[in-house]
Amino acid sequence: MGTPPDSFEDASTLAYRQWQQRLFDSLETDFSPYDPSEDVQNWLRAVHRDNGDLPVDHLAPLVLARRARIATAVTAAIRAAFMADGRRDLAVPVLLEPPSPELTMGRVQVGDQEIQGLDPQDIAVQAGDGFQTYVADVRALIWPVCRTHNNGAHPRIISATAVWQCPATGHVIGSIDPAARNR
């Protein structure tokens, strides 16, 4: 027999840990419930507080909505930066596939890039990748470019922030979406 929890906080933390483990053990989740991102943990805890032990198929629409919301906002910010850099506007599609028996979690894509994970910085890197690939395919254009080294930049996580990095020396050109943390 275990020791009974001595406060409501402990009981809710224990219930959360058990739910987290169930999600982790499920073959249907496509993200880690142990993602160390504070944003992700705060979100998952709020979902659990408001809904209790949601099964994966009931959690899926919430995951899809979070990914879609962040991916749409980040893609709009990248598009604005693209135009601010003097490029002709290009609407890079954000695609949503709802959850189904074949695709339990549903799917969000920016161009051809699938959005994985739940953290805004991870989503910003994936959206940056999708945007960059779409621009290359549709416009035959490399963007963004490091003006110092004349190299195409790569989307990367550096110091827990989604940035465009120049492959020449690894220096950071700028945030992919300076507001990503608040999306």
Taking CB under 5 A as the criterion, the residue among 59, 166, 176, 180 binding Zn ion is 166
Compute the least distance from the CB of residue 138 to Zn ion, in Å.
Answer: 25
Of 149 and 156, which has the nearer Cβ to Zn ion? Answer: 149
148 interacts with Zn ion by CB under 5 A: yes
Closest CA to 103 of 130, 64, 72, 66: 64
Cα–Cα distances in angstroms (integers) from residue 151 to residues 16, 132, 141, 147, 171, in the given order: 46, 13, 12, 7, 11
Taking CB under 5 A as the criterion, the residue among 146, 162, 176, 180 binding Zn ion is 146
153 interacts with Zn ion by CB under 5 A: no
Q: How far apart are CA 122 and CA 166, in angstroms?
A: 18
Of 73 and 163, which has the nearer Cβ to Zn ion? Answer: 163
168 interacts with Zn ion by CB under 5 A: yes
Of 79 and 154, which has the nearer Cβ to Zn ion? Answer: 154
* Binding-site string for Zn ion from residue 33 to residue 62, where x marks contact by CB under 5 A and - marks none: ------------------------------
Compute the least distance from the CB of residue 62 to Zn ion, in Å.
Answer: 40
C-beta pairs of 47-56 under 8 Å, 24+ apart in sequence: 48/15, 48/16, 48/19, 49/12, 52/15, 53/15, 53/18, 53/19, 53/22, 54/19, 56/23, 56/26, 56/28, 56/29, 56/104, 56/105
**Binding region for Zn ion (CB under 5 A):** 146, 148-149, 166, 168
